[in-house]
Structure 1
Amino acid sequence: MVDPFGARRWIERGTVKGQRNREGKPLGADFGLGGADVVTLNEVRDRALEYRRLATQGINPRYNVRQEIPCFEEITRQVHIERSPT
């Protein structure tokens, strides 16, 4: 997808099994897969397959993305390493 400002992004369009919108129709959604200049086509295919599997199980991929969040200690160590030369 290319937005009006020229940014290119990969998206997966799909529906989530068992979820309905206000009108009672199946819930359709666009799931962002990353920027086209950052994420390769193979990575996009893997992510899209994972998102389709979650949607088939009735799980909304938008709210169930597994992200590793660093703890405070890891962040402080990284900042210390980056700022130590100064």
Structure 2
Amino acid sequence: MKAIGLIETRGLTAAIEALDSMAKAANVSLVDLKRVGSGLVTVIIEGDVAAVAAAVEVGKTAHTMTGGELVSANVIPRPHSELRKIL
């Protein structure tokens, strides 16, 4: 079962920079990029647990290259099947 990683930033440019860095750092795939509102953007990735954890760690610092703000980051190792329905 794949893990899910989430990075939420304030600003689209910071989210794209984080996604680019995460994709280059580990074997992960983009699930979705959600614009939440008030400038908040959430990037959702998936892959095996180690790859997602490594990618999220890289993404947590990558947003700083654009001057963006990291709001939150999380890794869900074995998401429940019901969670996938909302993603």
Give the TM bin, normalised by the shorter chain.
Answer: 0.3 to 0.5
Between structures 1 and 2, the one with greater strand share: 2
Q: Which has the higher contact order (CA 8 A, sep 6+)?
A: 2
Between structures 1 and 2, the one with greater helix share: 2
TM-score by length of 1: 0.35
TM-score by length of 2: 0.34
Structure number with greater Rg is: 1
